Structure formats: structure tokens, C-alpha cells
Chains A and B, each alone.
Chain A
Amino acid sequence: MQKKLINIFLIIAAVAVALIMGRDFIVNKSGKNIENAYEYNIDEFRQVDSSLILYREVFSFPVQVEIPKGIALCENQIYIVAEDVFLKFDREGNLLFRKVLGASPTCIACGCNGEFLVGMRDHIRLFDGEGTLLSRWNSFGENTVITSVVVSGESVFVADAGGRVVYQCDKQGNVIRKIGEKNEEKDIPGYVIPSPYFDVAVDAEGFLWAANTGRHSFENYNADGSLRTSWKTSSVNIEGFSGCCNPAHFAVMDDNLFVTSEKGLVRIKIYDQHGQFKGVVAPPAAFDRGATIAPEVVVDGENRIIALDFERKSVRIFEQK
């Protein structure tokens, strides 16, 4: 009798051990339920006071491409460049045309007379509003990585992340001057561009602004290329720019408010022209968990903010609350 009890006990113990081992194997195998003692946790910085959120998302639509690269807005139409295509959408997200570029674009800007400047790695191509190639500029150089283009009057400003310089060109693509190169005599600090995120825009008065991402700063230049003013704000908190290459993208509103978009801790915010934080357009929670790529932003005539979300591959429209 006693022997039988011992046997039963041993069988139960063996089954229990097998179950524990099996469970441990399955749980560990799938990699779940193991705490990461070294977790890089930035969750606390993802939290944003709701009173700071000034905008709400009103509409979005997919861009129907694999690798979106840039967005431009012209006469209420949305233009997108992607892997090797040029697309036009109306504000309802209806695709109006899709043209094959035959090369990989990096950015796009609305020119004058309904023309578009599409940045390739080292040169600019000019297209009409129907996506027909009009002209092709010469290469800016072997190390050029064009990340942004903007048109102001008779000038075209081309941001080159590889050369860490902004080229001021005429409408034919001739370089008039280089802007922002380090010059201690003129008190120009020089661009620090750790990764290919280097955006430029012009303000309501037509002056050039460039995001010096490695310094978390904005620099404003006169027509002659001299430094006019600058501002910077560096912090992982909502009031500042975080990481090493921010703001990755920005746009300037008619009233000279800056719409900034950050990578890493993805968020879209608004500052005044002196760098004073005004509020949030889209907090980190508005983007997918694990998203790290900064959306490109443009502003329409009604101060709505249109973001190209590279992770969701969609255009998202935000309107003031």
C-alpha cells in the first residue's frame, strides 16, 4: 500500500516537473513574459498633456506606394514622389495621375507656373503639373544628397545633406551662392547633418530657413547668404527637439509659425518664429507604436497641416480644434 502511494507520488511529481519544463520551454521559446532589465524606455516622454494638443486629425488616405519619399501641395492638389513614381491626388485622396520617373526621387517642391522640382540624389528634375519631364539640372557633385528643395521668387534653394550646404540657384539651375558653410568671421556655425534629414523652407517674407538638425536649431539667412537670426531648443521633453537629427522636417505657416516634425520620438509641434513652443499637432501617441520616421509636413492655405506618414504610407490631414 505504502509502495503504491510512493509510486503515485513519484508519477505526479514527474508530470508536474514535465509540465513546468514544458511551459518554461514554450514561454521562453516564444520570447514572451521576460522582462527586459535594460529596457530603453521613453514611454514617459510619449505622454503629452491633452491641453497642449491644438489639432485633430480630420482625414487620411493611403498613397498606394511602397516607399513614399516626399510631398508637395499646389493649388489644393497633393503631389507625392515615391520609389520611382510621381503621383497626384485631390484633397479627397483620389489618384489623378501616376507617372513613372525612371529614377529614385528624394523630395519634391512646388515651383511657379504649375511646375514641380523633384530632387534626385544629386540633381534636380523639373516637371510640369501633368508629370511630364521639362528639364534636368546638372549634378551638384558626387557627394551630394539632396533632401529638400524650396522656391522663393527667382531663387531655388536646394539642401544638400552630403555637402552640408544649401545651394541658392536660379531657375535654370545655375548656382548663385552656397549658404550656411562654416564661417567664423561671419558668425555662421556651419551645418551639422548626422543623417539625411536636412530641410529648408521660406517664411512669409521670402527669407530662407534651414533646420540645422545636429544642433537642434533653425537658421535664417538674408538674400546675400549672411546669417540673419537663429533659434534652438534641445530637450526630449515636449518643448524641445530630441535625438541627434531633429527636426527632420518642417514647414512655415503664413503667420510665420513653424510646424516641426521629429524622428525617433515621433511628434509634430508648432513654434513661433522665435522658437517659443506653442503646442502640439500630433503627439507620439498619434503614430504607430515603434514608429521612428518623422512624417514630412506641408501647410495649406487654411493652415491645415498635411503630413506624409512614411510608416503608414498615408497622407494625414490635421485641422485646428
Chain B
Amino acid sequence: MTDQKHSKTMQRRDFIQTGMRLTLALSLGGIGTMAALKTAKGDTVWQIDPFKCVQCGRCADYCVKTPSAVKCVHAYDLCGYCDLCGGYLKPDAIAQATGAENQLCPTAAIKRKFIEEPYFEYEIVEDLCIGCAKCVAGCTSFGNGSLHLQIRHDLCDNCNECAIARVCPADAISRVPASEPYKIKGDFTANNKDQTQSREE
């Protein structure tokens, strides 16, 4: 009777131990497989193709973040540094000057800085930019198209389904490899921006 009880206890202990070992092995295996798959497939993030973008204004309103994680970026290498900037000035601006009444941007997110006659540098103040693309439309229509929209990954939540991609009329937003998170125009990269900032400093 006592032996039977002991044997039964041992069996239960064995069962629990075996079960735990199996669970551990399966968990480790699963995690390993997932890691391997993730490494092979690569992470992806949302990004805008600036050459497909039609400046519809929806990036400003449909992003789940407020203000939008979509910001205007400036390809300095492409910019003409124009006094007559179509991205900065309203088409019917009273003067080519920094007065609010002349500015196209609804939030005054573009800073205009005199370089030398007649060249001006334009810098995006990201905290103010709402990603409305008004300046992009002006720059694309009249200038070189150096102003364009990009999803900033330090701000983006990388939602499973991007709320802006869903309403984008040009299907300009798609997933891109996280290793190449920006679709850039000209020679512009995030590093260029850093270089520009350090030049100014």
C-alpha cells in the first residue's frame, strides 16, 4: 500500500517535471524560431514615396499622433535657395519677406534665413510642422521639389495598419525595411540634416 502510494507520487512528480521541461523546450524553440524568422525577414516601417505623393493634406489629419508623425523635410542639395521660394511664399505674397501675411505655411514652420544676395536658406521647424504638404505643393509646382514629406520614425508609432496609408489617394505610403527607413529625394538623408545643423552651430 505504502509502495503503491510512493510510486504514484513519483509518477506525478515525473509527469510535472517532464511537462515543465517540455514547456521550457517549446518556449525556447518558439522564441528561437521567431527570432530567426524576424532576422531573415527584417523589420519594416511605414514610409512615404515622395515621388508618388500628391500633397492631398491627409497626412496632417489622419495620423493617430497629434501633431502628425509626418513632417516636411528639406533636400538642401536640391534646393535653389531662392528668394522667390514657392514653398515658403504664398503665390500672391505682398512681399518676398518673412511677414506672416506672406507665408504659405499655416503654422509658420519654415524658417527663412538670408545667406547672401539673393539666396535664402529654408529650414523646417519640426515641432511646428503638421505635415499638411502645402509647402510641398508650392515647391513641387514652382520650384525643384526639394521640400517633401517623410514619416519621422522617432515620432511614428508604426501602427499595424497606418491610418494615413488607408486614405492616401496615391497609395504613396507603404512598408519599407527598417534598415532603410527613409525614401529620400536627391542626396538628402537624416545625416545631411544633422550636418546642416552642425554647420549652423
**A263 close to chain B: CB less than 8 A:** yes
Provided the pairs A29-B167, A236-B91, A245-B142 are in contact, do residues A38 and B132 lie with their beta carbons within 8 angstroms?
yes
B143 touches which one: A32, A34, A36, A194 (CB < 8 A)?
A: A194
Q: Which residues of B contact A42 (CB under 8 A)?
A: 91, 141
Would you give the 0/1 interface string for B141-152, flagging 1 where the beta carbon is closer than 8 Å to chain A?
Answer: 111100000000
**B32 close to chain A: CB less than 8 A:** no
Would you give the 0/1 interface string for A149-187, flagging 1 where the beta carbon is closer than 8 Å to chain B?
Answer: 000000000000000000000000000000000000000
**A39 close to chain B: CB less than 8 A:** yes
Would you give the 0/1 interface string for A218-248, flagging 1 where the beta carbon is closer than 8 Å to chain B?
Answer: 0000000000000000101100001111000
Contact in complex: B84, A243 (CB < 8 Å): yes
Alpha-carbon distance A245/B106, docked complex (angstroms) = 24
> In chain A between 233 and 289, which residues have their CB closer than 8 angstroms to a CB of chain B?
234, 236-237, 242-245, 263-265
**A132 close to chain B: CB less than 8 A:** no
Q: Which residues of A contact B142 (CB under 8 A)?
A: 242-245, 263-265
B167 touches which one: A31, A37, A236 (CB < 8 A)?
A: A31
How many residues of chain B have a CB within 8 Å of chain A? Answer: 34
Contact in complex: B166, A28 (CB < 8 Å): yes
B84 touches which one: A29, A34, A216 (CB < 8 A)?
A: A216
Interface segment out of the listed B18-26, B43-51, B53-61: B53-61
Interface size class on chain A is 20 to 34
Contact in complex: A40, B141 (CB < 8 Å): yes
**B64 close to chain A: CB less than 8 A:** no
Q: Which residues of A contact B140 (CB under 8 A)?
A: 292
Interface segment out of the listed B2-10, B75-83, B183-191: B75-83
A195 touches which one: B106, B132, B144, B166 (CB < 8 A)?
A: B144
Contact in complex: B81, A38 (CB < 8 Å): no
**B168 close to chain A: CB less than 8 A:** yes
Contact in complex: B83, A214 (CB < 8 Å): yes
Alpha-carbon distance A31/B144, docked complex (angstroms) = 27
Contact in complex: A37, B143 (CB < 8 Å): no
Q: Which residues of A contact B55 (CB under 8 A)?
A: 40
Least distance between A193 CB and chain B CB atoms (Å) = 8
Contact in complex: A244, B82 (CB < 8 Å): yes
Contact in complex: A245, B80 (CB < 8 Å): yes
Would you give the 0/1 interface string for B63-96, flagging 1 where the beta carbon is closer than 8 Å to chain A?
Answer: 0000000000000000011111110000110000
The main secondary structure of chain A at its interface with chain B is: loop
Alpha-carbon distance A39/B61, docked complex (angstroms) = 13
**A30 close to chain B: CB less than 8 A:** yes
**A126 close to chain B: CB less than 8 A:** no
B169 touches which one: A32, A194, A264, A292 (CB < 8 A)?
A: A32
Q: Which residues of B contact A9 (CB under 8 A)?
A: none
* Chain B residue, CB-CB nearest to A262: B142
Alpha-carbon distance A209/B118, docked complex (angstroms) = 21
Contact in complex: A36, B82 (CB < 8 Å): no
Contact in complex: A45, B143 (CB < 8 Å): no
Provided the pairs A194-B81, A236-B91 are in contact, do residues A40 and B143 lie with their beta carbons within 8 angstroms?
no
Least distance between A41 CB and chain B CB atoms (Å) = 9
Provided the pairs A40-B55, A243-B84, A244-B85 are in contact, do residues A195 and B169 lie with their beta carbons within 8 angstroms?
no
Contact in complex: A244, B134 (CB < 8 Å): no
Alpha-carbon distance A187/B120, docked complex (angstroms) = 22
Q: Which residues of A contact B86 (CB under 8 A)?
A: 243-244, 264
Contact in complex: A34, B82 (CB < 8 Å): no
Alpha-carbon distance A263/B201, docked complex (angstroms) = 37
Alpha-carbon distance A38/B119, docked complex (angstroms) = 27
Contact in complex: B91, A242 (CB < 8 Å): yes
Alpha-carbon distance A265/B92, docked complex (angstroms) = 13
Q: Which residues of A contact B60 (CB under 8 A)?
A: 37-38
> In chain B between 121 and 154, which residues have their CB closer than 8 angstroms to a CB of chain A?
132-134, 137-138, 140-144
In the complex, besides A28-B166, A31-B169, A36-B57, 12 extra interface pairs with C-beta distance below 8 angstroms are A39-B57, A39-B134, A40-B134, A42-B91, A45-B92, A192-B82, A194-B143, A195-B80, A195-B143, A244-B80, A244-B142, A245-B143
A-B contact pairs, 17 of them (CB 8 A): A31-B56, A31-B167, A32-B169, A34-B58, A36-B57, A37-B132, A40-B134, A45-B91, A193-B80, A195-B143, A214-B82, A236-B92, A242-B142, A243-B141, A244-B82, A244-B85, A264-B86
Binding site for B on A (CB under 8 A): 28-32, 34, 36-40, 42, 45, 192-195, 214-216, 234, 236-237, 242-245, 263-265, 292
State the 4 A-B residue pairs at the shortest beta-carbon distance, nearest first. Answer: A194-B80, A31-B169, A243-B142, A40-B137
